[in-house]
Amino acid sequence: MSFLRESGGFMSSRESADFYDAEMLVVYWETKPEIIEKLLPPPLKPVESPTVYAFVADYPKTNFGAVYKEAAVFLSCEYENIEGGYCLAMPVTDDMALAAGREVFGYPKKMANIYYHKEKRNAEGWAERHGTRFFEVKAKLNGRPNSPEFLDLVTERTGGATGGGIEITEVTYNYKHFPSPDGNYFDYNPRLIREEVVFRPTELKIGNADLSLKSSESDPWGELVVNKILGALYLKGNNSMLRGHIAAELESEKFVPYSFLKWDIDI
Domain assignment present for residue 214? The answer is yes
Domain assignment present for residue 123? The answer is yes
Q: Count up the domains in the chain and report the number.
A: 1
Question: In one letter, which amino acid is 142?
Answer: N
Domain assignment present for residue 186? The answer is no
CATH of the domain at 208: 2.40.400.10
Contacts of residues 253-256 at CB distance under 8 Å and 24 or more positions apart, as own/partner, are: 253/185, 254/41, 254/42, 255/41, 255/175, 255/177, 255/186, 255/189, 255/190, 256/185
Note the helical H segments in the chain: 33-39, 95-100, 149-158, 252-255
Domain assignment present for residue 126? The answer is yes
Query: Residue 260's closest CA among 110, 130, 116?
Result: 110
pLDDT given for residue 1 in this prediction: 72
Domain assignment present for residue 67? The answer is yes
**What is the average pLDDT value for the chain, to the nearest integer?**
93
pLDDT given for residue 42 in this prediction: 97
Residue 10 has pLDDT above 60, yes or no: no
| Mean pLDDT, rounded, for 132-138 | 98
Domain limits at 209? 16-165+200-240
Q: What is the pLDDT of residues 148-187, one digit of tens each?
A: 999 988 888 776 655 567 899 999 999 999 999 998 889 9
Domain assignment present for residue 96? The answer is yes
Strand pairing category for 82-92 and 109-111: parallel
φ and ψ at 155, to 5 degrees? -60, -40
Domain assignment present for residue 145? The answer is yes
pLDDT given for residue 267 in this prediction: 52
Domain assignment present for residue 72? The answer is yes
Q: Outline where DSSP puts E strands in the chain.
A: 16-30, 45-46, 51-59, 61-62, 68-79, 82-92, 109-111, 113-119, 122-129, 132-140, 168-176, 191-213, 228-242, 245-249
Q: What is the pLDDT of residues 179-232, one digit of tens each?
A: 999 988 899 999 999 999 999 999 999 999 999 999 999 999 999 999 999 999
pLDDT given for residue 50 in this prediction: 96
